């Protein structure tokens, strides 16, 4: 199952209020405790629902995990789009965007990120999110160049390099090597990008 399929309501029907609440509850649980070690019986007990209720969200525990992971990343994308809406200065857009990523990632504990890395379908949803973030940054850089606030650069290359750094931050590599929080790492990435892209004029 792809992350897009994970976001599609079963049978193409809109989720009920109870299903939306359950998805949010599972997300909060997974963010703290991870998801690989849970059985459907465990999840039913923790969310005080029946297994049939969980099956209405996804036909298996594995697909349910992918759906919840995709829900988490979609929530991040929606929040970030909302925060940068109406901002015109590319420098401010990048700063707000990367700060938002840092804030959202602070909700995710180590077991969740570890399970994403260890479970290929969930990792695919995560990688799609990283590629989307790199694409956003590429468009922000292109806008800044067109507006004259950034010097003329290879926007695609810079964005892909930023994407690699975002992935290293999200997987904890940067934090463990540099001894910083994700928020501090994204602040440094923002400073690195904005300093390197600044117009020489």
pTM of the complete model: 0.80
The residues, ordered by sequence, that sit 6+ positions from 36 with a Cβ below 8 Å of its Cβ are 65, 115, 118, 119
Polymer length of the chain:
201
> For residue 181, what pLDDT is reported?
80
Domains along the chain with CATH numbers: 3-197 (1.10.357.10)
40 neighbors 61 (Cβ within 8 angstroms): yes
Burial of 181 (0-12, 13-18, 19+ CB in 10 A): middle
Residue-wise pLDDT tens for the chain (201 aa)?
334 444 454 455 788 999 999 999 999 999 999 999 999 999 999 999 999 999 999 999 999 999 999 999 999 999 999 999 999 999 999 999 988 888 888 888 889 988 998 999 998 888 888 888 888 888 998 898 889 888 887 777 887 888 888 878 877 788 889 998 877 888 888 888 888 887 655
């Amino acid at each position: 199952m792809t992350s897009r399929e994970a976001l599609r309501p079963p049978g193409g029907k809109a989720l009920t209020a109870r299903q939306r609440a359950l998805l949010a509850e599972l997300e909060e649980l997974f963010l703290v405790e991870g998801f690989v070690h849970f059985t459907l019986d465990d999840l039913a007990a923790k969310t005080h629902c029946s297994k049939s209720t969980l099956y209405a969200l996804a036909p298996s525990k594995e697909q349910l995990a992918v759906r919840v992971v995709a829900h988490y990343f979609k929530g991040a994308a929606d929040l970030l789009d909302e925060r940068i809406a109406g901002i015109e200065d590319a420098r401010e857009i990048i700063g707000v965007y990367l700060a938002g990523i840092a804030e959202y990632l602070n909700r995710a504990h180590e077991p969740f990120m570890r399970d994403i890395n260890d479970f290929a379908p969930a990792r695919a949803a995560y990688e799609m999110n990283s590629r989307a973030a790199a694409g956003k940054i590429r468009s922000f850089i292109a806008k800044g160049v067109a507006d004259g606030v950034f010097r003329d650069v290879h926007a695609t290359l810079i964005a892909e390099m930023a994407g690699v750094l975002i992935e290293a931050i999200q997987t904890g590599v940067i934090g463990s090597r540099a001894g910083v929080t994700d928020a501090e790492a994204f602040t440094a990435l923002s400073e690195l990008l904005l300093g390197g892209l600044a117009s020489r004029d």
